Amino acid sequence: MGILENKARARLFYKYLSRVYDRINPFIWNEEMRAEALSLLEFPEDAMVLDVGCGTGFGTEGLLEHVDTVYALDQSEHQLEKAYAKLGRTGGPVHFHRGDAERLPFATNSFDIVWSSGSIEYWPDPVRTLREFRRVLEPGGQVLVVGPNSPDNVVARTLADAMMLFYDEYEADRMFKEAGFEDVKHKFMGPSYEPEVAITTIGRVPE
């Protein structure tokens, strides 16, 4: 397990990263990648959408191009403060919650879509968290998770794994199917300098 696959350490990490996150993020996860990921989803009319690990609200902003309201959750108060500044803390299109992805504060079968970008790499138990996503999704609901693709180079992969979770499509397939999702598919994406830096996985809850 990587050193940042620990909730307390991850919160401390984002306490400082939140100050520069929106300046660094475009080099790793940009608007073109976000649009490509969003195009993989089907948005029902009046869809109920949850953004888990919303951070400063970058993914949330993309989701709002497709739906009127988004529920958004993050464990970092510092990241959420940045999101509030962009999208408003209350009374706006986003209902923010501070909480844990492993114990979502929502009822079973509440959402049509659960989106999570840049969060899975910090989860201590990804399958447990994905099962929690499945719990809050309606039958037939969709999940989309963007995470870091495992480097091909052995040295780079060893260093990456020491920090946080990196995985390939085979591991993603195992995790999502073990969590109870079907129709699991994967797409690699990334900025021009590293076109396969991220792996996006989508799946559905059985009807």
For the record, the structure tokens of 177 come out as 């199917």
What's the pLDDT at 68? 97
What's the pLDDT at 4? 55
Region 179-204: what's the mean pLDDT? 94
Region 75-86: what's the mean pLDDT? 95
pLDDT confidence tier of residue 21, bands split at 50, 70 and 90: confident
Whether the CB-CB separation of 56 and 83 falls below 8 Å is answered with: yes
The residues, ordered by sequence, that sit 6+ positions from 191 with a Cβ below 8 Å of its Cβ are 27, 28, 30, 33, 197
CA torsion, ordered 21, 80, 61, 100, to nearest 10 deg: 110
Q: DSSP class of residue 41?
A: S
Distances in whole angstroms, Cα of residue 43 to Cα of each of 68, 111, 114 = 11, 11, 11
What's the pLDDT at 22? 81
Q: Where are the beta strands (DSSP E) in 89-136?
A: 94-98, 111-117
pLDDT tens digit sequence for 101-113: 999 999 999 999 9
Give the Cα separation of 34 and 43 in Å (integer).
Answer: 15
Averaged pLDDT of the chain: 89
For the record, the structure tokens of 13 come out as 């990490």
How many whole angstroms from its chain centre is CA 187? 15
User: Taking 90 as the threshold, does the pLDDT of residue 19 lie above it?
Assistant: no
Domains in the chain with CATH codes: 7-204 (3.40.50.150)
- 98 backbone dihedrals φ, ψ, rounded to 5°: -95, 125
Long-range contacts of 148-152 (CB under 8 A, 24+ apart): 148/121, 148/197, 148/198, 148/199, 149/188, 149/190, 149/196, 149/197, 149/198, 149/199
What order do you get walking across the sheet with 182-189 strand by strand?
A: 94-98, 70-74, 49-52, 111-117, 137-148, 198-204, 182-189
What's the pLDDT at 24? 78
pLDDT confidence tier of residue 155, bands split at 50, 70 and 90: very low
pLDDT confidence tier of residue 194, bands split at 50, 70 and 90: confident
Give the Cα separation of 83 and 86 in Å (integer).
Answer: 5
Of 19-33, 86-100, 192-206, the range with the lowest mean pLDDT is 19-33
SS3 186: strand
pTM strictly above 0.85: yes
pLDDT tens digit sequence for 157-187: 555 455 667 899 999 999 999 999 999 999 9
